[in-house]
Amino acid sequence: MLVFCLLSSAIAFVGLSEPSFACGPSTKCQLDDRHYYVRMPAGHDGKTKIGAIVYAHGYSGTAKQVMRNKWFRQLGNRLRVAFIAPKSSGGDWSLPHSPSRMRGAAAVDELAYFDKVLADVTTRFAIYPKRIMMTGFLAGGMMVWNLVCHRSEKFAGFAPIAGTFWRPVPNRCTTPPASVIHLHGDRDQVVPLKGRPIGPTHQGNVFRAIKMYSANGGFGRPKNVQRGDLRC
């Protein structure tokens, strides 16, 4: 399933005691020189396996900020899923053709980092590996698209928000097609649908990315659907 939805605006995001683990919502889960945070839903018994949402932060964001987001905490509790917040290696995710890479910064293997996060969190916590979805906002959405293209088998599905590839959009992906729901504000000026220049590089065209992935996955002819403010 591939779904592309436009919201008639730009998109913005504005209890019980936690179980005792070596790491969690306020203590880093350390992975060598990297880390992530995780929050289990309130009242979880620590044994029953549940699904999870992984959320990639935006540019200059942090995993700690994500963990402090009240709305995310409420979402995890309501859906009865774990909420996992990874952290980029620097101020941004190290992705092909990103501004930092184009300025000469050393490449960091973010895909390998996510492999480690998934292996670690499903070992430490009662999280079912086949019920993990991946989402992220802006630069985090760009990280999601790279995981869609190169780690699709690791997740149950993807929901990138207002993100895309850095130009050029790849011609194909290296892993099998997955279920993707892409959300984007049709007036977004941070990551416009057609992209914009950022320093020495350029954001990719969202429509081109959707077209590439549709062809990559052999998805059928698109259908237009209206759901409230969403045009899909």
pLDDT digits (tens, 9 = 90+) for 56-98: 999 999 999 999 999 999 999 999 999 999 999 999 999 999 9
Cα 222 to Cα 16, 43, 51, 126, 219, distances in angstroms: 44, 42, 29, 38, 8
Question: Residue 229 — very low, low, confident or very high, per pLDDT cuts 50/70/90?
Answer: confident
Calculate the CA dihedral of residues 11, 141, 107, 213 and round it to 10 degrees: -130
Task: For residue 88, give the 3-state DSSP assignment.
Answer: coil
Q: Which CATH superfamily is domain 2-14+18-231 in?
A: Alpha/Beta hydrolase fold, catalytic domain (3.40.50.1820)
- The burial of 5, by beta-carbon neighbours within 10 Å (0-12 exposed, 13-18 middle, 19 or more buried), is given as middle
pTM score: 0.91
Question: At residue 115, does pLDDT exceed 90?
Answer: yes
- Segment 163-220, tens digit of pLDDT: 999 999 999 999 999 999 999 999 999 999 999 999 999 999 999 999 999 998 899 8
Nearest to 58 by CA among 122, 124, 144, 132: 144
Question: What residues does each domain of the chain span?
Answer: 2-14+18-231
Distance CA 151, CA 27 (A): 27
Distance CA 143, CA 174 (A): 15
Distance CA 96, CA 209 (A): 15
Task: Compute the Cα dihedral for 134, 139, 145, 150 and give only its sign.
Answer: negative
